[in-house]
A and B are shown apart, each in its own frame.
Chain A
Amino acid sequence: MTPPQNFDLKSLIACPKCDALYRVGPVEKGDQAKCLRCRTVLYARRRDAGLIIISTALASTILVIAALFLPFIEISRLGFKNGSTLIDAALAFYGGPLFVLSLAVIGSIIALPLTRLFLTLYTLTPLVLNRPAWPGAKRAFRLSETLRPWSMAEIFLVGCAVSLIKLTDLARVELGPAFWMFVSVILLMAIQNSFMCRWSVWKALER
């Protein structure tokens, strides 16, 4: 069988998870397509997705940066008191043979989420404003997708919940403002994720 010509290829879409091939017609806002074989979502375009993603990304960036310097958890026992910021938690393993872990923790809860937010803003802002994409936008978006599984802010939050219960045995615990800021960041990121359609972004970047 001869492969179709190049202009034909644009009207095709293949499932990245099972290689099933489909033909795509014109895609309207609000349309969604799933692979028939493995049910992977091929695309899901939602109304005003770009604007919502940008605004949530901007809000999360501000919240994460502010949360860095405010106390996360404070404990007291027998008159001794200690508060811990996000940076303290990330640097818990610092100094000593375990400092590699510090890097991993800083990366997964602060550096990578922030990097992904910046990359998302960089890629999508010109698209939403109907301007040509900024230089390197494709590379930025690809990097952002590669980093996705390594950005673990939400897992950190569950870790916090677990340590809270461990801590209540040991001392009196108070949650700081940074904790609640982090909770809202996770919610904003979940909204952002549900509106993100990779296929549409790549389509838009190609123009």
Chain B
Amino acid sequence: MIVTARDKGLVCCQSCARVWPIDQPHCGACGTRLRSRDQMSLQRVWAWWIAGVLAYIPANLYPMLHTRTLLHSSEDTIIAGAFEIAAHGSIIVAGIILGASVIIPLCKFFAIAYLALAVTRGAHWPARRQFVLYEVVEFIGRWSMIDVFVVAILCSVVQLSVAASIAPGVAALAFACSVIFTMLSAQSFDPRLIWDRIETPPTKDAT
């Protein structure tokens, strides 16, 4: 049987894992602010989550790249760009781009919302699986920045006067904001809340 620090009237420091009496405001070893459970956690999660979702909409509607070659010029949104690459034959790269900038962000929105709802309303999933989901979200979130870096590299490298040039579009900014906001949302989540529900039996729907 696992005993938590809170059961013993203690609080754990989230950056150095040292343990202190529950009423101590700051960690005596590293100075981090101590909270047994972050009560404001879910509010911040939802605030950043909404900001992230809102920023994600223009990121998909506006062009990410303005490409101009001798013969034609084009404006690509994220999805159109990925399909164009796939049409050129590099399915794998198209897959990486679609994965990093469409599938991962969407899954992240759902995953964070699920975790936040599961903590307040109860969930079917056992705590361990929820925690794995949290770890995956934490780990994978940063990788969505790939697309922003690709735009940065393309725009700096492809400056060949009339032969070809690429300029960034507004969507790049919106997309970067969306990624950053979702990272902040995931970071605001206090994973200890997941495990607190173990002590009470899991709630299940009648259906």
Which residues does A use to contact B, with CB under 8 Å? 1-4, 9-10, 12-21, 36-38, 42-43, 73, 75-82, 84, 88-93, 97-98, 100-101, 104-105, 108-109, 138-139, 141-142, 145, 149, 152, 155-156, 158-160, 162-163, 165-167, 169-171, 198-199, 202, 205-206
A165 with B93: in contact, given A18-B194, A149-B142, A155-B142 (CB under 8 Å)?
Answer: yes
Q: Does B148 contact A (CB under 8 A)?
A: yes
Q: Does B22 contact A (CB under 8 A)?
A: yes
- Count residues of chain B with CB under 8 A from any CB of chain A: 71
Q: Return chain B residues, CB-CB under 8 Å to A84.
A: 153, 156-157
Q: Return chain B residues, CB-CB under 8 Å to A91.
A: 156
Q: Return chain A residues, CB-CB under 8 Å to B3.
A: 20-21
Cβ–Cβ contact B153 & A202, under 8 A: no
Closest chain A CB from B134 CB (angstroms): 8
Q: Does B146 contact A (CB under 8 A)?
A: yes
Contact string against A for B residues 21-32, beta-carbon threshold 8 Å, 1 for contact and 0 otherwise:
110000001111
Contact string against A for B residues 142-165, beta-carbon threshold 8 Å, 1 for contact and 0 otherwise:
110111111111111111111110
A155 with B155: in contact, given A12-B19, A17-B192 (CB under 8 Å)?
Answer: no
Contact string against A for B residues 1-42, beta-carbon threshold 8 Å, 1 for contact and 0 otherwise:
011111111101111111111100000011110001000000
Q: Return chain A residues, CB-CB under 8 Å to B159.
A: 82
Interface hit among B45-53, B108-116, B117-125, B168-176: B168-176
Contact string against A for B residues 179-201, beta-carbon threshold 8 Å, 1 for contact and 0 otherwise:
01001000100011011000000
Cβ–Cβ contact A166 & B18, under 8 A: no
A36 with B146: in contact, given A82-B158, A93-B155 (CB under 8 Å)?
Answer: no
Q: Does B73 contact A (CB under 8 A)?
A: no
Cβ–Cβ contact B161 & A80, under 8 A: yes
Q: Return chain A residues, CB-CB under 8 Å to B146.
A: 155, 158-159, 162
Closest chain A CB from B119 CB (angstroms): 13
Closest chain A CB from B116 CB (angstroms): 17
Cβ–Cβ contact A166 & B150, under 8 A: yes
Q: Return chain B residues, CB-CB under 8 Å to A158.
A: 96, 143, 146
Across the interface, name the chain B residue whose C-beta is closest to A168: B90
Q: Does B88 contact A (CB under 8 A)?
A: yes
Closest chain A CB from B95 CB (angstroms): 11
A89 with B30: in contact, given A101-B173, A162-B150, A202-B16 (CB under 8 Å)?
Answer: no
Q: Return chain B residues, CB-CB under 8 Å to A18.
A: 4, 131, 191-192, 194-195
CB-contact partner of A21 in B8, B36, B168, B170, under 8 A? B8
Q: How far is the CA of A138 from the CA of B27 in the complex (A)?
A: 12
